[in-house]
Amino acid sequence: MDNLKGVPFAKMTGSGNDFVFFDGREVSLERVTSPEMVKRICHRNNGIGADGVVVLEPQSDDGAVRIHYFNSDGSPADLCGNATLCSTALAAELGMASAAGMRLVTGAGVITSRFGALPEIDFQPVMEVAPAIPIELAPGEQRIGFAVAGIPHLVVLCESADAVALTQRGPGLRWHPLTGGKGANVNWVSPLPGGLWRYRTFERGVEGETLACGTGAVATAILLAEWGLTGGEMVTIRTSSGRDLRISLRRPADAEGCYPTLCGEGRVVFRGTIESL
């Protein structure tokens, strides 16, 4: 198997949700995205270590940038919010697109974004929202809703997100029949002082907790609004890394659905070339 010796990469983090990025102009998509290679790259002991692998490719026809995203288990995903924030920052830095405004092509549609003090991305309209899902509540849980923010999410309102036994509760909800054949990410959310919200995510494709989940933050903000628990269009959610994600929710009078914008970290941690995997 190709060991990728000499291939350059960037390690990036979005509020602790971390990724290995490749420039599609320097390495072919097929070379770095087979399920086995993704697993080797993402392995935290024998590889670089990450929640996922991203390849950015300029689209020659219209100037947009294509995001190819793969979970650490090797499975592709239509959208990853934090990877898209990171992609915005890196695409601007690499000269693939303008920091003032760009179009990112994902499996969940075209995302418009920009990079100022922090990257900011505009989601496609979220149309599928169910404020109540008939799933039995565990102790400390208060209600469960569902939303598709690019990918499907369960959102569980609870007394304390930090007290949730996530590794025990997560898999059963992640694969619950009511989430569909491929299951869903699961987010637990509870209030913090000052109008903030604390959340934790059990993420499919990682099959465990990640320090942040951008699409999960968006789904959580939408369900909090549906439940009448937010005071306005802006929702601030604290991740397990201690960093905050800010979600703006617009509901235009002349359009259906919710139009979310996500703002958060997209930071290069280090760059290097692969020696061996």
- The answer to whether residue 258 is catalytic is no
Residue with tokens 């951008």, as numbered in its chain: 214
Angle at 178 between CA 176 and CA 183, to 5 degrees: 50
Question: Token pair for residue 77?
Answer: 């995903």
Q: What gap in Å lies between CA 51 and CA 69, rounded to an integer?
A: 10
| Per annotation, catalytic residue among 42, 86, 213, 258 | 213
| Per annotation, catalytic residue among 80, 86, 258, 263 | 80
Q: What gap in Å lies between CA 139 and CA 203, rounded to an integer?
A: 21
Question: Token pair for residue 135?
Answer: 């799933």
Q: What gap in Å lies between CA 193 and CA 185, rounded to an integer?
A: 26
Which residue type does 111 have?
A: I
User: How far is residue 193 CA from its own chain's centroid?
Assistant: 25
Active site residues: 80, 213
